[in-house]
Structures are given as structure tokens and as C-alpha cells.
């Protein structure tokens, strides 16, 4: 099959490789190069880098609207367009071009967590499981019928980073299964998404990373996991702003003001929350690197043994 692939971040790379396995990828669409790093140099997306390594033609339009963009896509004569975390909404005129329409690999169990940050929102909400859906695209935001899906449990130790990597691999597997069925001439039965259970995974905002000790410890622990490795949770701890890379909720009845240090030792720093306590286990000082709390306390002798 002649396939056009559209994707941008690292999450989409395994799906590009799956699409490339037994098909002809005639072009790859990705976001324009963006400034990145301390030097703010223009940097190619992970999908562009992978595409160029495999010898694919790469297109980087600012938008997929207008006569020129549509004519370029039509000239490719695609049987199918595969979209994975591309970053642009596709107008109906684009959806209508490929013979089999456009497929999307989405990192949630639709209709839960439509939108930009489904992986992190699932962890933050305390969901027990998530997964990936292969969806036939419509004009709406992640509203199309689901063709295939796979689930995976969200483990207590999962972070945004670990779940991202697992779902990227799972998404590539689901896509490969769908392509195999299509090549074999088999119909993928579309399952219309129910109206019940629709939630939206709004884009992550760095302002959300600030922990509020007036919240339950369980909710804060889920936020810490969800926001690792980006944007990384942060909080004021004993007069110092720290980034929190790892933490565990403790079911402690303490009767102390939220934000108070209940204990500080090699096991962690226990902070009073509205319900329970949050044990900080890995932190980062301003200008420093992430370190275990035991190492952090070597520089905070005023905290060692607090609450003991």
C-alpha cells in the first residue's frame, strides 16, 4: 500500500517503523523544525530524523490547508494516511484524499482522554488502566470510530515517561495488526465511540506542576508520577523550592498543617497533606541535578531527623 505518515514526537517513531515494514511510505509529514536546547538552534523532530535515516521524502508545512498543500498530498496518491501525534488537525479535505481515509494511533482508551496529553492525564487521575486505539479519523478531535484497541494496566510505579514508552510500542503493534488485516482484504469493523465517558486530556501546563499541600497525598503522588519527566512537579519544602522526581503517598493521620515536615531521614522527607503525607524520595535543587533525598539531606543538616 502507498502510505503517507504524519507524526512529530518520539512517541510516533515506532509507528513509523511499523508502517514502513511491509508498505511503501511515499512521504512523511512532520512539524517544521523548532528551536530547542540551550542554544535554541532549529532542531528536526524525532520523526523527521527517523524518516531521513530511512530515505523518506519529508514535508513540513505549517498547516494542511490551501490549494498547494492539498495538491501535494493528492499527487502522492496515498491508499492510507497514518497520523500519530502529528500536532495539526486535519481538515475534511485532507481526510477525503486517501483511498482508505486516515487512521490515527491514540494513546488512551477512547472516549476517555481525547486530546493532547492522554498519557499524563490517565496517571494523574489515578486510572487503573489505559491503552491505545487505532481510530478512523473524522473532523472532530479524536471522535472517530475505533478499529482496534489494546489495554495495559497502569502500575503504581509507572511515570509519564515509562507509560509513554510502553504505549508507543503498543501503538506500533496495534497499527501493524490493522495494516496486516487491511492488506489481507479484511474489513476492520468500526466501533462508534459512546457519548458516555468522554473526557479531555488538556495540554500540560508548567503552572500545573506546582504541588498544593492542601490536596490529598494520593493525588499529589499521582501528579508527581504523571509529570515525570516533564514538566516535573515542584513544591516549597522547608523554605526551599524543589523539583520532585519521585514521591509516595503515606496514609498517615498527623493533625499537622499541610506543608509541615513530619519526618526527614534516609527513607525520605514526609510532608503533611490535607489527607495523609507525601514522602519525597528524589528531588532536585535549583541549578542542580536530581538526587536521592538521602544525598539532599547531607546539605540540609537543619532537616535531618526532623519530626523523629
Q: How far apart are CA 131 and CA 40, in angstroms?
A: 34
| Annotated binding residue 89 | no
Q: Are the beta carbons of 146 and 135 closer than 8 angstroms?
A: yes
Locate the DSSP E strands across the chain: 2-7, 24-29, 34-36, 41-43, 58-59, 80-84, 102-106, 114-115, 129-136, 146-153, 200-201, 233-237, 240-250, 261-265, 268-272, 277-284, 290-292
Q: How far apart are CA 240 and CA 8, in angstroms?
A: 37
Question: In 3D, which of 102, 14, 27 has the Cα closest to residue 57?
Answer: 27
| Annotated binding residue 110 | yes
Terminal Cα-to-Cα distance of the chain (whole angstroms) = 67
Contacts made by residues 184-190, CB under 8 angstroms, sequence distance 24+: 188/134, 188/147, 188/148, 189/147, 190/136, 190/144, 190/145, 190/146, 190/147
Annotated binding site for (6S)-5,6,7,8-tetrahydrofolate: 108-111
Annotated binding site: 108-111
Amino acid at each position: 500500500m502507498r502510505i503517507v505518515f504524519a507524526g512529530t514526537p518520539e512517541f510516533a517513531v515506532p509507528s513509523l517503523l511499523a508502517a514502513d515494514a511491509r508498505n511503501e511510505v511515499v512521504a512523511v509529514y512532520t512539524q517544521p523544525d523548532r528551536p530547542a536546547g540551550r542554544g535554541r538552534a532549529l532542531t528536526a523532530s524525532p520523526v523527521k530524523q527517523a524518516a531521513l535515516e530511512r530515505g523518506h521524502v519529508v514535508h513540513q508545512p505549517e498547516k494542511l490547508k490551501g490549494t498547494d498543500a492539498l495538491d501535494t498530498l493528492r499527487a502522492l496518491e496515498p491508499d492510507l494516511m497514518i497520523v500519530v501525534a502529528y500536532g495539526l488537525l486535519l481538515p475534511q479535505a485532507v481526510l477525503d484524499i486517501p483511498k482508505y481515509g486516515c487512521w490515527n494511533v491514540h494513546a488512551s482508551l477512547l472516549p476517555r482522554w481525547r486530546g493532547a496529553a492522554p498519557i499524563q492525564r490517565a496517571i494523574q487521575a489515578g486510572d487503573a488502566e489505559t491503552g491505545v486505539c487505532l481510530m478512523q479519523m473524522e473532523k472532530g478531535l479524536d471522535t472517530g470510530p475505533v478499529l482496534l484497541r489494546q489495554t495495559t494496566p497502569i502500575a503504581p510505579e509507572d511515570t509519564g515517561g515509562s507509560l509513554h514508552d510502553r504505549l508507543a510500542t503498543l501503538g506500533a503493534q496495534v497499527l501493524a495488526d490493522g495494516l496486516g488485516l487491511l492488506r489481507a482484504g479484511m474489513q476492520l469493523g468500526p466501533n462508534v465511540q459512546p457519548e458516555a465517558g468522554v473526557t479531555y486530556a488538556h495540554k500540560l501546563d508548567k503552572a500545573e506542576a506546582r504541588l498544593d499541600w492542601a490536596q490529598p497525598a494520593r493525588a499529589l503522588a499521582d501528579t508527581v508520577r504523571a509529570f515525570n519527566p516533564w514538566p516535573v512537579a515542584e513544591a516549597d519544602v522547608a523554605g526551599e523550592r524543589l523539583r520532585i522526581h519521585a514521591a509516595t503517598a503515606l496514609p498517615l493521620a498527623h493533625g499537622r498543617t499541610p506543608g509541615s515536615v513530619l519526618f526527614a531521614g534516609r527513607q525520605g522527607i514526609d510532608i503533611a497533606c490535607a489527607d495523609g503525607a507525601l514522602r519525597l524520595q528524589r528531588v532536585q535543587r535549583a541549578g542542580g541535578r536530581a538526587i536521592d533525598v538521602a544525598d539532599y539531606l547531607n546539605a540540609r543538616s537543619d532537616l535531618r531527623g526532623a519530626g523523629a
